[in-house]
Every structure is written in structure tokens, then in C-alpha cells.
């Protein structure tokens, strides 16, 4: 009985840790995540040119870093973000 309670407690602890990690990742200040929307509202809501420049810089950084480390996901994410780049 005690061993079953301990293993359930370990499982709950692992689930709680995973939830904290996922929540922390969601607060990263990049636009697809919630932290990015907060940063966007604070910094770029009134400056559309600055918003477009920052997004373009983020796209170039994602594609460049992805190619540098030979990753497939980051350049694809950069190309997807390219479709959301505002046009004047």
C-alpha cells in the first residue's frame, strides 16, 4: 500500500514538473507564444514599421540559426512566420 502511494506521488510530481516546463516554454517572448503577445502589445502595438522589422529579423534569425545547426524545424518555422509578415 505504501509503495503504491509513493509511485503515484512520483507520477504526480513528474506530471507537475512537465506542466511547469510547458508553461515556462509558453511564456517565451516570441510571437506564437503568450509571452510574445504580451511583448507585442507592450512594444509594437503603435509602431507598425518596428513590428515588421522585428518580425523580419526574427525570421532571418530562425532560418539562419536552423541552417547553422542543421535543424529542419527552425527554418520551416521561419518560413511559416514569413507568411504572417505584415505588408504595407
What would the mean pLDDT of 53-66 be, rounded to a whole number? 89
Provide Rg for the chain, Cα atoms.
Answer: 19
> Do 75 and 66 contact (CB within 8 A), yes or no?
yes
Return the C-alpha cell found at 32: 506564437
pLDDT at 47: 82
Q: Read off the pLDDT band of 88 (50, 70, 90).
A: low
Residue 2: pLDDT band (50, 70, 90) is: very low
For residues 60-74, give the mean pLDDT: 92
Task: Compute the average pLDDT of residues 6-20.
Answer: 81
pTM: 0.55
What's the rounded Cα separation, in Å, for the pair 37 and 29?
8
Cβ atoms within 10 A of the Cβ of 4, count? 8
Q: Can you tell me whether residue 46 is helix, strand or coil?
A: coil
Of 62, 58, 36, the C-alpha closest to 44 is 36
Amino acid at each position: 500500500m505504501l509503495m503504491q502511494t509513493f509511485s503515484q506521488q512520483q507520477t504526480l510530481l513528474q506530471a507537475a514538473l512537465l506542466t511547469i516546463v510547458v508553461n515556462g516554454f509558453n511564456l517565451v517572448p516570441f510571437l506564437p507564444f503568450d509571452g510574445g503577445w504580451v511583448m507585442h502589445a507592450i512594444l509594437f502595438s503603435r509602431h507598425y514599421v518596428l513590428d515588421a522589422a522585428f518580425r523580419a529579423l526574427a525570421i532571418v534569425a530562425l532560418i539562419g540559426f536552423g541552417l547553422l545547426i542543421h535543424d529542419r524545424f527552425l527554418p520551416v518555422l521561419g518560413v511559416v512566420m514569413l507568411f504572417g509578415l505584415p505588408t504595407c
